Structure 1
Amino acid sequence: MRLVVATCQVDYVGRLTAHLPMAPRLLLLKADGSVSVHADDRAYKPLNWMTPPCSLVEQEHPEDPEHLLWVVENKAGEQLRITLSEVHHDSRHELGVDPGLVKDGVEAHLQELLAEHLETLGPGYTLVRREYMTAIGPVDILGRDADGVTVAVEIKRRGEIDGVEQLTRYLELLNRDPLLSPVRGVFAAQVIKPQARTLAEDRGIRCVTLDYDSLRGIESTDLRLF
């Protein structure tokens, strides 16, 4: 991982255009090739980013030799153009292979149970693999629906916007694989917050509420209208 703190200007050129004026920011370059631009707020969410696969070219700025220019470009020809006027810090760190997120017992058990009973999502659903590894982390469940279409399932105990964003990143990456695409998304949780459901459905992601007791073969004691 490379960490660069610099006074910089950022311009995104592609399907949309976006501009960040000159200011001090953190530039994060990961081993997977991703490049993200961060401010000192917004928690973990970057101001702008480029997901892999992409290339980075560092050069003298053609219009101003006193500045550096980073050109980050993906296969679609979209570019993140970062103009650096001053570099305050530049360091590299070898983090090695991450052991991955250790999920709580209920969430991990939900994944195991749903993988064993994938027909819960609908007739004809079949399992391809649990913890299907990608360059940005493991997809909880990869399966196929009754029509043979690949389905990526993200499982949470509480379904929130962060989980939808996580699944969106997986789908963006998986749909670049011609052996898997098209890949549909299913966001499954015991409880899904309204904002998360709205965002998921807007992105074409199906939401499924899971009944933990039913998956375990235990009749729920909760009273229901239907």
Structure 2
Amino acid sequence: MRVVIASCSVDYSGRLDAHLPLATRLLMVKADGSVLVHSDGGSYKPLNWMSPPCRLEVGEPSEDEAGAGVVEVWTVQHAKTDDKLVVRVHEIVADHSVELGVDPGLVKDGVEAHLQKLLAEQIEILGPGHQLVRREYPTAIGPVDILARDADGATVAVEIKRRGEIDGVEQLTRYLELLNRDPLLAPVRGIFAAQEIRPQARVLAVDRGIDCVVLDYDAMRGLDDVESRLF
């Protein structure tokens, strides 16, 4: 990652033409080849940028550009289109490069894996008498989040989402169709469990005979003080 603070003007040409007049800006050159131009505002969104695949060349200014105070010309050419980003640098205030290495990615709190683990440990949330069979029950079309049995010994397939949408109900429906072909498991009913279930998803689930359970993540982690509630 190279981070440059510079006084510069920026011109973009290609699918559209855009011009940023002379001002002090943050220039970011990432290892993937992307170049981003930021101002001290506008939150995370750059003023202009070029996404990879592209090539950055730093060249000398022309006589006219040098006469106008330009000391470097950055030309960023996209590899597959005619799009071009030209940064005319008048003064470099700071220039720093650092090797960031491979990023492990964002780990979100409350993702399906955490919810699945907690629900497996607290399977009674599904109802009295429920017992865990196993997590990640394998099928030919992917693993079912949780397979359990209810108080009557019937098989229950549970699909877990952070936000329950229609596609999650569709996914559980496909699992149920497959599981119900197994005479050792059938009949199998479904439970759609999520921190939040959209109204359309709930309507579809009910129409298909699937129960819905809203998961309170804080309560499952023991962070919800029930005794301090007003109601």
| TM-score of the pair, normalised by structure 2 | 0.51
- Could you say which residue in structure 2 is the equivalent of 1:152? 157
- 2:138 partner SS: strand
Corresponding letter in the other structure for 1:196: A
* Structure with greater Cα Rg: 2
Q: Which runs of 5+ in 1 are unaligned?
A: 1-101
Deviation of residue 131 (structure 1)?
0.3
Separation in structure 1 between the aligned mates of residue 125 and residue 205 of structure 2, nearest angstrom: 19
Asked whether the equivalents of residues 153 and 187 of structure 1 are also in contact (C-alpha less than 8 Å), the reply is: yes
How much identity, in percent, do the aligned residues show?
77
Q: Is 1:169 equivalent to 2:142 in the alignment?
A: no
Match of 1:202 among 194, 207, 211: 207
Match of 1:184 among 156, 166, 189: 189
Separation in structure 1 between the aligned mates of residue 180 and residue 126 of structure 2, nearest angstrom: 21
Deviation of residue 170 (structure 1)?
0.2
After superposition, residues 69-88 of structure 1 pair within 5 angstroms as none
Separation in structure 1 between the aligned mates of residue 150 and residue 180 of structure 2, nearest angstrom: 16
Q: Is 1:108 equivalent to 2:106 in the alignment?
A: no
Separation in structure 1 between the aligned mates of residue 133 and residue 177 of structure 2, nearest angstrom: 19
After superposition, residues 121-132 of structure 1 pair within 5 angstroms as 121-132=126-137
- 1:134 partner SS: coil
CA 1:134–1:194 in 2, change beyond 3 Å: closer, same or farther? Answer: same
Q: Once the two structures are superposed, what CA deviation does each residue of 1:48-93 show, in whole Å capped at 9, x if it has no partner?
A: xxxxxxxxxxxxxxxxxxxxxxxxxxxxxxxxxxxxxxxxxxxxxx
Q: Is 1:218 equivalent to 2:211 in the alignment?
A: no
Aligned residues: 124
Asked whether the equivalents of residues 123 and 146 of structure 1 are also in contact (C-alpha less than 8 Å), the reply is: yes
Q: Once the two structures are superposed, what CA deviation does each residue of 1:104-144 show, in whole Å capped at 9, x if it has no partner?
A: 55221110000001001110000000000100000000000
Q: Once the two structures are superposed, what CA deviation does each residue of 1:6-43 show, in whole Å capped at 9, x if it has no partner?
A: xxxxxxxxxxxxxxxxxxxxxxxxxxxxxxxxxxxxxx
Asked whether the equivalents of residues 213 and 220 of structure 1 are also in contact (C-alpha less than 8 Å), the reply is: no
CA 1:220–1:168 in 2, change beyond 3 Å: closer, same or farther? Answer: farther
- Could you say which residue in structure 2 is the equivalent of 1:117? 122
| TM-score of the pair, normalised by structure 1 | 0.52
Q: Which runs of 5+ in 2 are unaligned?
A: 1-105
Q: Once the two structures are superposed, what CA deviation does each residue of 1:164-214 show, in whole Å capped at 9, x if it has no partner?
A: 000000000000000000000000000000000000000000000000011
After superposition, residues 81-96 of structure 1 pair within 5 angstroms as none
The list of structure 1 runs, each at least 4 consecutive aligned residues, that deviate by more than 3 angstroms after superposition, is 102-105, 223-226
Separation in structure 1 between the aligned mates of residue 203 and residue 230 of structure 2, nearest angstrom: 23
